[in-house]
Amino acid sequence: MQVLRQKLLPLQRLFDQASHTARPLVLLLFRLWVANVFFKSGLTKLDDWDTTILLFSNDYHVPLLPPVLAAVMGTFGETVFSSLLVAGLFGRFAAAGLFVVNLMAVISYPDLTDITRQFHYYWGMLLLALFAFGPGCLSLDAAWHSWRGKHRQPA
């Protein structure tokens, strides 16, 4: 068993290095992929606001919110949080915000098919991963933290 471990150690190191190298690109891909979905949805709502209000009045049943407020909040969340996510600015906050928007979509629209519900679950998992791991080093958050670290005044 010990011999097998020693032989697998270089392979484990190779996988660890590949994982470390790929992580920023994977997180960037997650951010761009899920932000694109929500941003397009927000633009569709903005493109025909009367229809958006009609949908929130008749089809989407957001708990505790009047339809117009739900429409404004949903559209705001889809456009603003997805824009922040693309830039990686306030990345965890943006991921959490989009997760709530996604959750409200699943809760408030009872006519989702099994397939469309699966898409929402998939987007939710991507958003949870971004919340858990942050936006990565290819983000404005990382640039800000790096800049702050270089410009701190000694105490």
Question: C-alpha distances in angstroms, 119 versus 5, 34, 63, 92, 103?
Answer: 40, 11, 22, 21, 12
pLDDT tens by residue, 101-117: 999 999 999 899 999 99
Q: Which of 84, 117, 86 is nearest to 103 (CA)?
A: 117
pLDDT tens by residue, 43-70: 999 999 999 999 999 999 999 999 999 9
pLDDT tens by residue, 15-46: 889 888 999 999 999 999 999 999 999 999 99
Q: Do 131 and 99 form a contact (C-beta atoms < 8 A)?
A: yes
Average pLDDT over the chain, rounded to whole? Answer: 94
Q: Is the pLDDT of residue 153 over 80?
A: no
- Assigned token pair, 3: 């011999």
Question: What SS3 class is residue 138?
Answer: coil
pLDDT at site 73? 97
Q: How many CB atoms lie within 10 A of CB 137?
A: 15
Mean pLDDT for the stretch of residues 125-137 = 97
Length of the chain, please? 155
Q: Do 85 and 130 form a contact (C-beta atoms < 8 A)?
A: yes
Q: Is the pLDDT of residue 155 over 70?
A: no
